[in-house]
Amino acid sequence: MTNQLRPRRSCLAVPGSSQKFIDKARTLNSDQIFLDLEDACAPLAKPGARKTIVAALNEGGWGEKIRVVRVNDWTTEWTYRDVTEVVEGAGANLDAIMLPKVQTPEQVVALDLLLTQIEKSLGYEVGRIGIEAQIENALGLINVDKIATASPRVETIIFGPADFMASINMKSLVVGEQPPGYDVGDAYHHILMSILMAARAHDKQAIDGPFLQIRDVEAFTRVAGRSAALGYDGKWVLHPGQIDAANETFSPTQKDYDHAENILDAYEYFTSEAGGKKGSAMIGDEMIDEASRKMALVISGKGRAAGMERTDKWTPPES
Ligand code: GLV
Ligand code: MG
């Protein structure tokens, strides 16, 4: 399965400077981990964290998890060293680099070129290491479509709500919740949808960012449920307690999964010679057609990627 198709329902943030959190992360059941060199890592701790991260990746023990490292953004003095040290030291044991605060497609191209040189010089397959682009300010959002297509390495587009809220002067300090005073809709709808459109237009995954009230799993589930309902593939998790909620929220329910698989079977049968070559047909009380098949494919794809099994099987009518 390529990285683009692998589930990223839960993307666990792990400070790259903390051996304790890194060791704990290995034992958790998130779909992805990202070892952070950016905001969860103090400036003075960054050089040491690069070494800790290289060792942690090379030691292994990550199972099926997608292994990502978040480097610092291109406006700092740290990015090139983050990338060269981590990829030269552990490129074979790394799936993607997460680039925060992406504002222009050129910033993605710069990372792509650097990765390509490192891969060539070390004899690695060129292009295997992916890029996860975080959208965290107004310019990044305006350019999101071009950012998504700036390099074939781009696998995901990620919403970074904390930095985004700060960058647009949103009057709130509670990341992920609605800003007080805005009582006429969802203040994040435009941002979430713009990222989702760019992701879907170009076959990338769309990932929602962190929810900082880490002890309130109910609120996490409510907020995650919104982006999951729109079509997002997953969300960041900052605490072990958020992982199961994310995995569940971004998987189909058993009922929807069974129904989707049944629609696919029924539609295949009814469009076949034996089923009467029909363009539309009935499954129970519901009419299905080609559009129903496409919707069912989305749900069944997510369920299969999450390892779900059918508990109900449609059978053709007796003729
Ligand atoms: C994540 O990086 C955020 O800013 O929300
Ligand atoms: Mg951020």
Q: What architecture is domain 10-249? A: Alpha-Beta Barrel (3.20)
Q: Where are the domains of the chain?
A: 10-249, 254-305
The atom of ligand 1 lying closest to the CA of 159 is: 5
CA of 165 to the centre of ligand 2 (A): 10
> 252 in ligand 1 pocket by Cβ < 6 Å?
no
Two structure tokens written together for 12: 């666990």
Tens digits of per-residue pLDDT, 14-50?
Answer: 999 999 999 999 999 999 999 999 999 999 999 999 9
* pLDDT given for residue 4 in this prediction: 57
pLDDT number for residue 5: 65
pLDDT for the residue 305 = 85
Ligand 1 nearest-atom number relative to CA 163: 4
- Residue 125's pLDDT is 96
Mutate which of 41, 136, 191 for ligand 1? The one with the most ligand atoms within 8 Å of its CB, which is: 136
Per-residue pLDDT in tens (0 to 9) along the chain, 319 residues: 455 568 999 999 999 999 999 999 999 999 999 999 999 999 999 999 999 999 999 999 999 999 999 999 999 999 999 999 999 999 999 999 999 999 999 999 999 999 999 999 999 999 999 999 999 999 999 999 999 999 999 999 999 999 999 999 999 988 888 999 999 999 999 999 999 999 999 999 999 999 999 999 999 999 999 999 999 999 999 999 999 999 999 999 999 999 999 999 999 999 999 999 999 989 989 999 999 999 999 899 889 988 899 999 999 987 6
Predicted confidence at residue 35, as pLDDT, reads 98
**For atom 1 of ligand 1, which residue has the closest CA?**
160
Residue bearing the CA closest to ligand 1, atom 2: 160
pTM: 0.93
pLDDT at residue 2, rounded to an integer: 54
Point out the ligand nearest to the CA of residue 158: 1
pLDDT score recorded for residue 238: 97
